[in-house]
Amino acid sequence: MNTPDEPPHRTPRVDTCEWCARSLDVGTRIDVVVADSTYLHPDDPRQDGHRPASACCRDHAEELLSIGARDWVDEQLWAKKLSRALVHWNRTETTMEGIAALAGLTRSQLRRAIQWRPDGRGHGQTTPDESPPSPMRRP
């Protein structure tokens, strides 16, 4: 539950480390932003894929960041963006360009989002000419 000072759209602060579940306090808490291709920001689509996380120490924060970078799938994020857009889809927008624009995707990204499956089937390789790497992805 949100406190009166906390806006309702904010994710409440976590009281445990996301890596080990240890209780956090002011002296041990490390807040990071983790790459997460399943995360859609509630208010700002530009922050999609950038999930706030908390850890109890620098090593656990690094583990969370590493897992986020390792597990990132562009198509997964694009499919989530498409799902969000379809909630607001005006049925008269039937072109691929119109749906892609509504989702904030390119036509190529839209095509790949449609083909993507959580089990990995339909998951294509990202090529440099189709899309830039995620800003959260580490080389």
pLDDT of residue 1: 40
pLDDT band at 121, cuts 50/70/90?
low
With bands split at pLDDT 50, 70 and 90, how would you rate the model's confidence at 14? low
The predicted pLDDT at position 7 comes to 45
Residue 73 pLDDT > 60: yes
**CA-to-CA separations, 65 to 37, 52, 98, 130, in angstroms, rounded:** 13, 11, 35, 25
Q: Which amino acid is at 116?
A: W
pLDDT, tens digit (0-9, with 9 covering 90-100), for 83-115: 999 887 777 667 888 889 889 999 999 999 999
**Between 125 and 29, residue with greater pLDDT:** 29
Summary mean pLDDT of the chain: 81
3-state secondary structure of 30: strand
User: What is the average pLDDT across 116-137?
Assistant: 52
In single-letter form, the type of residue at position 43 comes to D
Specify the pLDDT at position 88: 75
Q: What are phi and psi of 46, to 5 degrees?
A: -65, -20
51 Cβ neighbours under 8 A, 6+ residues apart: 33, 34, 35, 36, 39, 68
CB environment 71-101: b (16+ within 10 A), e (fewer): ebbbbbbbbbbbeebeeeeeeeeeeeeebbe
pTM confidence score? 0.71
* pLDDT of 28: 85
